[in-house]
Structure 1
Amino acid sequence: MQMEDTAVKGPRRVPEVVIGCLLSIAALTVGTMLVSATRASEAWGWFSKDASGFFTGLQFLVATAQAVLFIYQLRLIRVSLEDAKVVSAAATRQARVAEDTLTKIERPYVFVYNVSSLKIDQWEYEGETGSTLSVKYSVANYGKLPAVIEHMQVSLSVHDEPLPPTNYDYNHPLAVSAVLVPGEPRNDLYEGLAWDRVTIDPYQGDAADLGGKELFFWVIIRYRGTFSSGHVTRACWRYDERTGQFVEFNGGPEHNSQT
């Protein structure tokens, strides 16, 4: 921007200097003409009888013509500079668009998909029993460059609206191996929630009593690429009790988006 400002301000000062010089020359010329006129006996006799007066007048006309030509030329230069500035700005915009397009193409894209139906597991340990709600899902990089997982949050929650997911465990597969090469899927990733209010029915199947609340599955993955950073994938699902499947939760970009 500093170079552009200098290029714009520079030509605007040139006309002032040139015009000042031309006016000085014109004033000197007029002074010379007046001196020559006072020495002549008639008002315009110097023009025909005095050779120096004749040439001084001729110089005045030439100087005036040069001044007009200089002003016109400087105006043309200013117009050409403005056109060049417009062309330069357009070229800069095109370069930025090309760079942005290349960045969007040559970067990783991490997706969360293949969310399974809800599974209810019964367990017994040292005389105690309980149940766990669980879901499996997949994560893959479908970009052109490897993705490095920097941070991840994932959880199942029962509430009126999705609760912010908690940080993943240190032994999570994406924590143990944080680099996703292009096209690499990580399947059968597990997330569970301890839940005791379960109706056991060997004929109709077990069902979770959510107490009028909603069951949400939410994943947030922050990652970077080889030449880019600050990418975030957000994916949130809501459990549909009628079908036993998870459906996408349309809550807004804070729940489902990719940057």
Structure 2
Amino acid sequence: MTFKVNETSCSMDDTAVRGARRVPEVVIGCLLSVAALAVGMVLMSAARAGEAWGWFSKDASGFFTGLQFVVATAQAALFIYQLRLIRVSLEDAKVVSAAATRQARVAEDTLTKIERPYVFVYNVSSLKIDHWEYEGEAGTTLSVKYSVANYGKLPAVIEHMQVSLSVHDEPLPPANYDYNHPLAVSAVLVPGEPRNDLYEGLPWDQVIIDPYQGDAADLGGKELFFWVIIRYRGTFSGGHVTRACWRHDERTGQFIEFNGGPEHNSQT
């Protein structure tokens, strides 16, 4: 459902109304001029005959001609007054129309914000250190698992996604997701549908092995960040972006939200 107001047609209609309401004024002015000229000619002709007052007072045609002129003048004055009232009412209608236009825009914007998908990234696990061996080679990987869900009212279509772990002083721009990522394979998120246990890893060989307290990653004084950027669209809207960034807390082993600004954590 959308609300649209054709402002161009409204302005054209206002112009047409202003032009139309000037036409009766011109016509009435012409009629008054003709009536005044006619009465003047009659008076002049009667005056020449020396019977001007007698023509008005004794002749019925003169009396009714004068009365007709007075009535026409009164009607013209009433018409002009009525046109002025119409002009004032049109100005009021213009103000009401502008208010209705603003209200329609607010309603449309509100409907767009409500009837759309909202994709969230949440449930980030603690950091895990995975040891692996393959064909005689061994290594370690830092990994996390996370969830993505659509909590809007309409389905979301994932158009592009960036996700990665990075070790640096500031979060590095995340890399594009792989072609076999679950959100690339199945890009439609229906309302209320969660995608759990999504995996992201970072090869990292600098690991302190401690069989008693658990292995720990040696970050060399840097910070470990997990950053996700998801671009998606809805059924009737597009250009939506979800940004979510976390920083690893070495004391607790958990990821906490990184307060870096809207470029790191935001919903659009």
Same fold (TM over 0.5): yes
Which range moved further: 111-120 or 90-99?
90-99
The structure 2 residue matched to 1:217, chosen from 226, 242, 246, is 226
- CA apart distance, 1:190: 0.7
* Residues 1:141 and 1:60: Cα distance change in structure 2 (over 3 Å): same
Q: Equivalents in 2 of 1:130, 1:211: separation in Å?
A: 18
- CA apart distance, 1:232: 1.5
- Relative to the length of structure 2, the TM-score reads 0.83
* Residues 1:75 and 1:251: Cα distance change in structure 2 (over 3 Å): same
Aligned length: 258
* Percent of aligned pairs sharing the same letter: 91
* Residues 1:18 and 1:211: Cα distance change in structure 2 (over 3 Å): farther
Which range moved further: 184-193 or 215-224?
215-224
Q: Equivalents in 1 of 2:223, 2:20: separation in Å?
A: 69
* Residues 1:103 and 1:27: Cα distance change in structure 2 (over 3 Å): same
Q: How well do the aligned residues superpose, as a CA RMSD in angstroms?
A: 2.6
* Residues 1:212 and 1:36: Cα distance change in structure 2 (over 3 Å): farther
Q: Equivalents in 1 of 2:17, 2:255: separation in Å?
A: 61
Post-superposition Cα deviations, 1:145-167, rounded to whole Å, max 9, x if no partner, equal 22111111111122222222221
Q: Equivalents in 2 of 1:232, 1:40: separation in Å?
A: 96
- CA apart distance, 1:177: 0.6
Which range moved further: 159-168 or 100-109?
100-109
Post-superposition Cα deviations, 1:156-193, rounded to whole Å, max 9, x if no partner, equal 12222222222111000000011111111100001111
Q: Equivalents in 2 of 1:15, 1:252: separation in Å?
A: 64
- CA apart distance, 1:56: 4.1
Q: Equivalents in 2 of 1:216, 1:30: separation in Å?
A: 98
SS at match of 1:205: coil
Which range moved further: 137-146 or 74-83?
74-83
* Residues 1:200 and 1:44: Cα distance change in structure 2 (over 3 Å): farther
- Relative to the length of structure 1, the TM-score reads 0.86
SS at match of 2:52: coil
* Residues 1:4 and 1:44: Cα distance change in structure 2 (over 3 Å): same
* Residues 1:64 and 1:197: Cα distance change in structure 2 (over 3 Å): same
Q: Could you list the runs of 5+ residues in structure 2 that have no partner in the other structure? A: 1-10
* Residues 1:32 and 1:237: Cα distance change in structure 2 (over 3 Å): farther
- CA apart distance, 1:211: 2.6
Q: Is the 8 A contact 1:22 1:63 kept in 2?
A: no
